[in-house]
Amino acid sequence: MANVVVVGTQWGDEGKGKIVDWLSERADVIARFQGGHNAGHTLVIGEAVYKLHALPSGVVRGGKLSVIGNGVVLDPWHLIKEIEGIRSQGVDITPENLMVAENTPLIMPYHGELDRAREGQVSVAKIGTTGRGIGPCYEDKVGRRVIRVADLADTATLELRVDRALLHHNPLRKGLGLEPVDRADLLAQLREIAVQILPYAGPVWKVLNQKRKAGKRILFEGAQGALLDIDFGTYPFVTSSNVIAGQAATGTGIGPGAIDYVLGITKAYTTRVGEGPFPTELEDGDGQQLGERGHEFGTTTGRKRRCGWFDACLVRQTCATSGVNGISLTKLDVLDGFEELKICVAYDLDGERLDYLPTAADRQARVTPIYETIEGWSGSTAGARSWAELPAQAIKYVRRIEELIDCPVALVSTSPEREDTILVTDPFAD
């Protein structure tokens, strides 16, 4: 049976939550493979609206196993709070349908404090982090001083891990004007949360490989977008993990051969939250209209998203680095009523034409978009569930995007409702 990886092909906020929910109905396992609770997925199911941050989107579907892989960094206090919040909406979450990898790194309170202190340094350019400790936790993982889920089960090991972490963090905090971490208080907090977290802990790598051999369908869910990838994103204005599809394997412990299809979630225009380059950003009435009609505010932070025209160069890049087999084009309905639309087909860099975004930050800052103008449409695409319901010009827009990004459209989303989706190619087809 096919196993599918879902990745965002832009700067996040592409509408992954709805598509993952739509696909999860036919999946047996839904696995988160990177990121932290800085990501936000909004699911609309009937009259219910679920806002997820750490939990995989599959938790709202009965009869599915949701897993949090080792590629995620997890705030255990936030996870328990989120579980309780989703339970209050009538969703049953138990160790039977949610598993957390034993080797998942844990976000500590001092990670968030460090994140916010750094971002507040006026002498250094802001990265635009959410201040939730994601980056500092990934730093500790690479520095081999992070506390992992399995460490919560043994007091002696936990104390050793805490001591190693504080040996690094307390001098760092002193330099930033922060008080040293209270060791006894931190250990007390960890012992208290351990009782709530450990029932969910398990060998995710083993379970996923067993499920695969049994012919079960696995849906791998990424957070953020590929343009925020630590290696291939608009560095340094990126997240602290790999976001591209290859991370699905290393972030869960399943081999890359288990990935059968990569679905790239792509917004019909472009948005970005926070700092960093954005070649097609609009600061005029068109940009304002896109933001208002698209309700462009972050699920996690509430921050207003920057809006711009569709950038085919960027999406073509991310389709290549993630090996995208097909895209799901979302929010097409937001473009209804525009007299004309623009698509960035190349960049001008000091008189040189480029078909990709250069790596160097100074070169990224100097590129200007080269646009192709396409006629808009007056009819409505909202709620369409077949090609026949789309205006002819909307279909032309979709087909032109396919040509420019060198990747076919597999799905078209025409509203937040999960059933308002046009299926072109089934990612789960054998």
How far apart, in whole angstroms, are the C-alpha atoms of residue 388 and residue 6?
A: 27
Long-range contact set of residues 162-169: C-beta below 8 Å, sequence gap at least 24: 162/186, 162/187, 162/190, 165/108, 165/110, 165/140, 168/140, 168/143, 169/110, 169/114
Catalytic residue selected from 13, 115, 140, 311: 13
Query: What are the φ/ψ torsions at residue 96 (nearest 5 degrees)?
Result: -75, -30
How far apart, in whole angstroms, are the C-alpha atoms of residue 309 and residue 287?
A: 8
Q: How far is CA 251 from the centre of its chain?
A: 13
Active-site annotation holds for 13: yes
Active-site annotation holds for 78: no
DSSP letter at 263 equals: E
233 with 376: CB under 8 angstroms? no
How far apart, in whole angstroms, are the C-alpha atoms of residue 400 and residue 315?
A: 13
Residue (of 306, 305, 315) closest to 400 by Cα position = 315
DSSP letter at 330 equals: E
Catalytic residue selected from 21, 28, 37, 41: 41
Sign of the CA dihedral with 47 first, then 51, 54, and 56 last = positive
Q: 106 pairs with which residues across the strands? A: 74
How far apart, in whole angstroms, are the C-alpha atoms of residue 368 and residue 350?
A: 9
Long-range contact set of residues 51-54: C-beta below 8 Å, sequence gap at least 24: 51/299, 52/17, 52/82, 52/86, 53/78, 53/82, 53/299, 53/300, 54/78, 54/79, 54/82
> What SS3 class is residue 101?
strand
> Buried b vs exposed e over 362-380: b needs ≥16 C-beta within 10 Å?
ebbeebebbeeebebbeee
How far apart, in whole angstroms, are the C-alpha atoms of residue 291 and residue 51?
A: 20
Residues with catalytic annotation? Answer: 13, 41
